[in-house]
Amino acid sequence: MFRHFCVYLKVKRQVIHYMNYLIKILFVVTCILQATTIYGQSILNQYDEQGNKHGQWVEDANITGIPERKCIYNYNHGRKDGVYYIYDYGYLSYVGEYDDDKSVSFSFFYRGVLKYDFYDFEYGDMQIGQLQFIGRCKSRTYHPNGVIAEQIIIYFDEGGPEMDTAYYPEIRYYDDNGYLYKVEYQSVDDYVLSKASEVWYYDKAGNITKKESKK
C-alpha cells in the first residue's frame, strides 16, 4: 500500500511539473505574439507635450558585447510602465514588467528556453544588521526540463537583484525531479565574504539528513 502511494505521489509530482512547463511555453508564445503586434503598429516612439517618452517605444540598447539588442518598452509620460520585451539577435531574451518606473518582475530566456526569473518585488528602506537595501524579491532558476532548480530570496541596492552587491539570505536547491536536496543560509557577516553560513541537506521525503556550519 505504501509503495503504491509513493508511486502515486511521484506520478502526481511529474504531472504537475509538466503542466507548469506547458504553462511557461504558452506564456512565451503569448509574449511573442504580443511583441509581434507591437512591431506591426504604426504609432511608435512618440513624445508627450512635455517632451517625455510616451506610449510604446522600440529602442536599440547598444550594449557592449550585444550589438543587436532591441528593446520594446511602454512609457507613461517618461516613466516605464507595463510589460516590456528585449530581443538579442532576433531571439526573445527578457520579458518583464514595470510599475511606475520600478521593476516588478522579469524573466530571462535563452533561445526560447526559460532560464531564470525574478518576482515578488518589494521596495522601501530595508536594513539588516549594518547593511542597507532598497528592496527585496525572489528568484528561480530552472533545469533544462523546466523544473525549478533554485529558489532564492534576494535583498538588493540601487544596482538591482542581479548585481554582486545583492544579499542572498537563503537559497533552496532542487534536483531535476523537483525534490529539495539542499538549503544554504547566509548570515550578514558572511555576506561580506560571499559564502554560505550554514548548509542543510534533505532526503527525498523532506527530512533533514545533515547540517553543516561553515564558520
Pair (5, 28) in one structural domain: yes
Verify that 122 and 97 share a domain, yes or no.
no
| Distance between CA atoms of residues 103 and 96, nearest Å | 8
Q: Which domain holds residue 208?
A: 113-215
For residue 138, list its beta bridge partners. 119, 153
| Residue whose C-alpha cell is 504553462 | 23
- Asked if residue 104 and residue 177 are part of one domain, the reply reads no
Is 2 a residue whose pLDDT tops 70?
Answer: no
- Which residue, among 143, 161, 138, 152, has the nearest Cα to 186 in the 3D structure? 152
Same domain flag for 1 and 81 = yes
Same domain flag for 20 and 125 = no
119 contacts 138 by C-beta, under 8 angstroms: yes
Mean pLDDT, the chain, rounded, equals: 84
Q: Based on the structure, what is the number of domains in the chain?
A: 2
pLDDT of residue 212: 94
> Which of 73, 90, 111 represents a domain boundary (last residue)?
111
Distance between CA atoms of 136 and 103, rounded to whole angstroms?
11
Q: Are 34 and 93 in a shared domain? A: yes
Residue 132 and residue 72 share a domain? no
Q: What is the pTM of this model?
A: 0.74
Same domain, 98 and 129: no
Q: Is the pLDDT of residue 11 over 80?
A: no
pLDDT-based confidence at residue 8 (cuts at 50, 70, 90) = very low
Q: What is the pLDDT of residues 70-98, one digit of tens each?
A: 999 999 999 999 999 999 988 999 999 99
Does residue 200 share a domain with residue 125?
yes
